[in-house]
Structures are given as C-alpha cells and as structure tokens.
Amino acid sequence: MDILAIIPARGGSKGIPRKNVRLLVGKPLISYSIQNALNSKYSLDVVVSTDDEEIERISNQYGASVLIRPTDLASDDVTLDPVIYHAVKTFEQKRNKTYDIVITMQPTSPLLTTKTLDSAIEYFIKNDFDTVLSGVNKPHLAWTEKDGKVIPLYQKRLNRQYLPKNLLETGAFFISKRKFIDKNNRFGPEISVFDVPENESIDIDSSQDWWVAEKELSKKKILIRVEGYAEIGLGHIYRGLLLAYNFIDHNVCFVLSSQSDLGIEKIKQSHFQYKVIDNNNELYELLKLGNYDILVNDMLDTNSEYIKKCKEMCGRVVNFEDLGAGAALADAVINDLYDKKNDRNNHYWGSDYYCIRDEFLIAEPSKFKEEVKEVLVIFGGTDPSNLTQRVLNIVESINKSDIHYTFILGMGYAKADELINSAQKDNLNVDFVKDVKLMSEYMANADIAISSQGRTMLELASMSVPTILLAQNEREQHHEFGYLKNGFINLGLGKNVDNNTIRETLLWLINSPQIRKQMKEQMEKKDLRLGIERVKNIILNKHI
C-alpha cells in the first residue's frame, strides 16, 4: 500500500512561541514526529505542511519533504481538513500516484513511538477500518450539564480501575482511507480508536505539557543489582529501594542472585520490577536485551572482568561499597562508610554521600534527658553474630527495672522465637519488635542505642542517639564513621568483646549524662540530609 504521512505545522504558535522548532531534550519538537514516521516499517512518504521558513528548513534537515501551504490555509480559523486535503492533492500530483492511506500526525505528540504507530497502522489494515484515530483510556467519574442540571456520566461510583473505558482523542495520529479525504472531512463510516499508552499520549499545548514531555523523554532505564541474605544482611536492599523511590521519574528494575532469598522477598513486597539470576552471564544478557542506560552495583567488591563486561553493554556503571579491583574501571564508586582511601577521580568517600531514608529526613531527633529511660538494641536484618542474644543476657545481669529495652529483630534474624521465650521467662522490662515499619519513631524515643557498625549507625546519628557499636565482621570495622568524633563509642569486633566490657560500658554511659550530651552534640554537627541528592546526581552523571 502507498501511505502518506502529513505533519501539519504552522509557525504562529501563541501558547508556546516557536513551539514546533523549539528544542525539546536537545531536538526540535517537530523532529520527533518526522523521525517516527520515517522509521516506520511501512515505508511512509512523509511531508510537512507549513507556512514557516524555519519549520521548512528543520523539516528538510530531518528528512521530510515540505509543502508550503497557501496563505488562505494558514490562518488561525482554518481547520485541518482542508489543509490535509491540499497536501494530499498536491503531493499526489507531485509524485504522480494516488495514495491508499493518509495519516495525519501532529508535531505536538513527541512521546509517540514508532512501535505504537506501526501497531496502529497494522490494526487499521487488518480490520479494514475506514478511519482509526489515536486515543488514551482515562476512566474517571465524570459529569456533564444537561437542561441546566449537572448530571453524572456514570451509572455506579466505582474505583478508577473498574470504570468502563473512557477514550480521549489525542493528536498522535489520524489514519484514513484516501477515498474519504476531502476539503471538509477525513472520516469514513467504519471508525475505531487505537488505545495509545498513557506515557505516549501527551499533546503539547501548554508549558506544563512541555515540562511533562521533557521529563518523560529524559527518563533513564536503571538496573540496580543488589544482594541480601543472612550472611550479609539487608543493608544493600534498603539502599537500593531508597534509590528506586528517589528515581520516580526514571524506569527502575532490580536484579538479584537466587541466593538472595531475603532480598527477593523484600523487593517483591515493594512492587518494583525485579529479575533473578544465577550467574553473571545472565546479567550480561539482561543488560544486552534490556537496553539499560545505567547499572548500579550494590554487592560489595567487584573484579575487573565483571566491570569491563558490564560497561560493554551499559552506558554507565556506578558501584557502592566497592574496594575491589573493578572499582577502578567503574564510572563512579560511592563509599559512604569509608574515609578517603585513594585519589581516584571516580571515587566519592565518606558520609556526605550517605543515602538517608525519607522517614529520617522529616523525623525529629531524639531529645536529651538527664536520666536514661529507654535503650534501643538493633543489630540489622540478620544479626549473623547473634549479638542480640548477648546483649539480652547483659540486660538480665544489670537488672535495672526502671529502664526499658526495645530489641529490634530483623526479618532475617533466625533466633527470634528462642530469644523472646527466654526473655518472657525472666520477666524482663523488654519489648521485641519484628519487621519495623517506621524505625525513626523507635530511635526518637531512645536515650541510648546499642548497634552494629553498618548502615544503621548513620540512621542513629541522624536521630542524635548516643550509641555503643559492636561490629558484626571485620569489614564493618573499617566503616570509619563509627567513632567518637561522630558521637559513637566503638568497642570493636563484637565476637572479640567480652560481655563484661559491654555491660560496664553501658552502665557507664547510663550514669554519664554529660558524656551522652557531648555524643549527641557531635552527631548533630553532621548533616546527612543532602546525601541522597548528591548520590542521585552522581548516578545520573549530573554532578559538578
């Protein structure tokens, strides 16, 4: 079939001056519709009908033919029907042929994809429609006015997803058989509406529409690789989720290894897209097929071969907490828990790049009290060293009934039931909390905390809670933030610290209000709230 695509584009836009030729994400607005039409598998002839020299020049530059319309078809009150008819007649004479199908494509629909356009043409041809126009399904509880009264356009008040289709016409395309094109009409008797995806449906008529289109066209495809299982905990998972929530204006997908049973469950609960792999080769294939713009690795150390292969298939690679050989090859490495280790230009060190969760950005820090009434005990999502049990034994030996202890038990902590049963037998002033939804509330109520030396210590610092640290493993010991200069008492690797040292340190801190006050003041000097914006800019390569 011979198909003609006509793009009508006047130069006198009033809502957005020079709209059709203004740059939208680096390209003239009209170029999007031209390229969509030229890229169609149906080999469309593409012509721009215009009264403007600048539009003519840009349209030629992007490969379209141009037809200068006569003055009487260029005024504000002229409808599209005579403009399209003029273009068809003129171009048929020029090409010495009669077209089978004529498609009107508005230049104000830059989000339309060639894939959707081709699907609509196929739908038109296969179903032998006379006319198919683009529409978007936007079901709403709508009302209208009739005989001076406002009446509903629905029969039952239902949630949006259960309402019947409500197709709104868009300007993306208007497909008709040639025989129905005349000066006053483009409709044939058999009409259908092709449902365009909502993110492709925008018609740019206002500055707000322009802003939305710009956001949509600037979206990146981001793949976040994270791991989360008993041995390493869930810190990487929580950070990955925090990044995903903050990349709401981009397309985010997670990938985890099949080993990450706890992580998979947590990501599943978040309703983000995710994929499970068994080896790196499966990741490489995913990157190749998915056409991702950015890969974020949050899985500790990487090697050179892995990063080389990732960079072959992905435009940008950003790693977290990477001290391996692969770090030198990544586009950026963010090590927020470490002080500066080297002078590599691609590395970002220290707590300035810590990503704090939203709840801590709006929470009020804990208030200083002379007398300790509440102690918070928290050792991460899995507590592989079972430091929780040791602290519970110490609490039992202190036997100070006027102090309440809250133990936070992570979703991966395997000995929760055993711990709770033992505490109930001893009638301790203790509560156990599983699967916490709002951690900041517990931290805000705490006068002292006992914690591991991972990501939780930064949350405690943001809430100004004087904290005793016990590292879960040797790697945690290298997290330099967790020392006295930032308000922590660091006892070192938990398994090497005897119970009496923990007990005496806790009692000393309970009975030392001036020390606790100084620790809080040290924590308050660190502003951790801007880290997420810094990290977002690094990942998107927008940092200065």
In the prediction, which pLDDT does 48 show? 97
Residue 427 clears pLDDT 80, i.e. is over it: no
Structural Rg of the chain based on CA atoms: 31
Q: Which residues are catalytic?
A: 160
Per-residue CA distances from 330 to 134, 296, 347, 510 (Å): 44, 10, 9, 46
Nearest Cα residue to 225 out of 333, 323, 329, 299: 299
Band of pLDDT at residue 503, cut at 50, 70 and 90: very high
In the prediction, which pLDDT does 543 show? 63
In the prediction, which pLDDT does 490 show? 96
Domain with CATH 3.40.50.11190 in the chain: 219-356+534-539
The rounded distance, in Å, linking the Cα atoms of 350 and 132 is 58
267, 246 contact by CB (below 8 A): no
Domain with CATH 3.90.550.10 in the chain: 3-216
Going by the DSSP 8-state scheme, the letter that residue 18 receives in this structure is T
In the prediction, which pLDDT does 268 show? 95
Interval 478-491: pLDDT, tens? 888 889 999 999 99
The rounded distance, in Å, linking the Cα atoms of 24 and 210 is 8
In the prediction, which pLDDT does 142 show? 87
Residue 252 clears pLDDT 90, i.e. is over it: yes
CATH number of 3-216: 3.90.550.10
Interval 95-143: pLDDT, tens? 999 999 999 999 999 999 999 999 999 999 999 999 999 999 888 888 9
In the prediction, which pLDDT does 167 show? 87
Phi-psi label, residue 421: left if phi above 0, alpha if psi -120 to 50, beta otherwise: alpha
**Average of per-residue pLDDT values in the chain:** 92
Percent of the chain with pLDDT over 70: 99
Summarize the confidence of residues 367-378 as an average pLDDT. 96
SS3 63: coil
Band of pLDDT at residue 174, cut at 50, 70 and 90: very high
Band of pLDDT at residue 160, cut at 50, 70 and 90: confident
3-state SS record for 190-241: CEEEEECCHHHCCCCCCHHHHHHHHHHHCCCEEEEEECCECCCECHHHHHHH
Interval 299-325: pLDDT, tens? 989 999 999 999 999 989 999 999 999
Residue 22 clears pLDDT 70, i.e. is over it: yes
CATH number of 363-524: 3.40.50.2000
CATH number of 219-356+534-539: 3.40.50.11190
Burial (Cβ within 10 Å: 0-12, 13-18, ≥19) of residue 27: middle
Domain with CATH 3.40.50.2000 in the chain: 363-524
Interval 437-479: pLDDT, tens? 899 999 999 999 999 998 899 999 999 999 999 999 888 888 8
Q: Residue 248: in which H helix or E strand, if any?
A: none
Going by the DSSP 8-state scheme, the letter that residue 368 receives in this structure is P
In the prediction, which pLDDT does 295 show? 98
In the prediction, which pLDDT does 544 show? 53
Per-residue CA distances from 480 to 57, 290, 327, 379 (Å): 60, 38, 19, 18
In the prediction, which pLDDT does 14 show? 77
